[in-house]
């Protein structure tokens, strides 16, 4: 049974001053085990994600995707392939009333590549692109501890989704909140922010 919260008992009420960072594979779309989503034909939204992104668009001032895409570094796909996937993904999200303000990706092959999560580079780039981002009013939602560590490294609160990995024992030093999927997280934010 997935817990809905951990170290903190209640999600904070958010408004347009808040920023949401999202991982992609396993959070927005179905993650391919031991492989990469190489083209749009292989891309599949996780259940409830389009509704979740519609709710988030009403709640957050900025919605940003930060994603490791080593498939480029391995030569399985090109950066243009990735842009094609993201263009179609954003088009579908917008048709359902959601939005993503910008997508940041790390194509490096090396685990220690400076852009790859958990390094904070993509988050710092976002803060440079959008100077109104306040790290203390930010969330990072992901499905790996690398995502959670990235969140810690940029000063954001963290939400873990056990969509592809085992639910961590709670409390956990890297995880502030735990939800079964993106839609449940979005509904909880909506409930908190309208009380």
Q: Where are the beta strands (DSSP E) in the chain?
A: 19-22, 62-68, 102-106, 138-142, 157-160, 177-178
**Encoded tokens for 59:** 């709640």
Catalytic residue among 25, 81, 176, 181: 25
Query: What is the rounded distance in angstroms from the CA atom of residue 158 to the CA atom of residue 146?
Result: 11
CA pseudo-torsion sign 70, 72, 77, 82: positive
Give the span between the Cα atoms of 162 and 105, in whole angstroms: 22
Cα(37)–Cα(32) distance, rounded to whole angstroms?
A: 7
Strand partners of residue 148? none
Instruction: Give Cα 121 to chain centroid, integer Å.
Output: 15
Q: Is residue 25 annotated as part of the catalytic site, yes or no?
A: yes
181 is catalytic: no
Catalytic residue among 23, 147, 176, 181: 23
* Catalytically active residues, by annotation: 23, 25
């Amino acid at each position: 049974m997935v817990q809905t919260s951990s170290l903190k008992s209640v999600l904070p009420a958010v408004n347009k001053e808040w920023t949401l960072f999202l991982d992609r594979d396993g959070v927005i779309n179905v993650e391919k085990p031991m492989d990469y989503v190489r083209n749009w034909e292989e891309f599949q939204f996780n259940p409830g994600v389009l509704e979740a992104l519609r709710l988030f668009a009403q709640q957050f001032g900025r919605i940003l995707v930060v994603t490791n895409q080593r498939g480029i570094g391995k030569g399985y796909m090109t950066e243009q392939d990735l842009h094609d996937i993201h263009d179609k993904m954003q088009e579908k999200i917008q048709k359902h009333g959601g939005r993503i303000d910008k997508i940041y990706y790390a194509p490096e092959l090396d685990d220690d590549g400076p852009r790859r999560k958990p390094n904070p580079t993509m988050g710092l780039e976002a803060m440079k692109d959008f100077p109104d981002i306040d790290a203390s009013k930010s969330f990072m939602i992901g499905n790996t501890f690398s995502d959670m560590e990235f969140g810690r490294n940029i000063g954001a609160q963290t939400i873990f989704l056990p969509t592809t990995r085992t639910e961590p024992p709670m409390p956990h030093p890297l995880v502030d909140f735990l939800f079964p999927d993106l839609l449940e997280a979005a509904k909880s934010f909506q409930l908190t922010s309208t009380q």
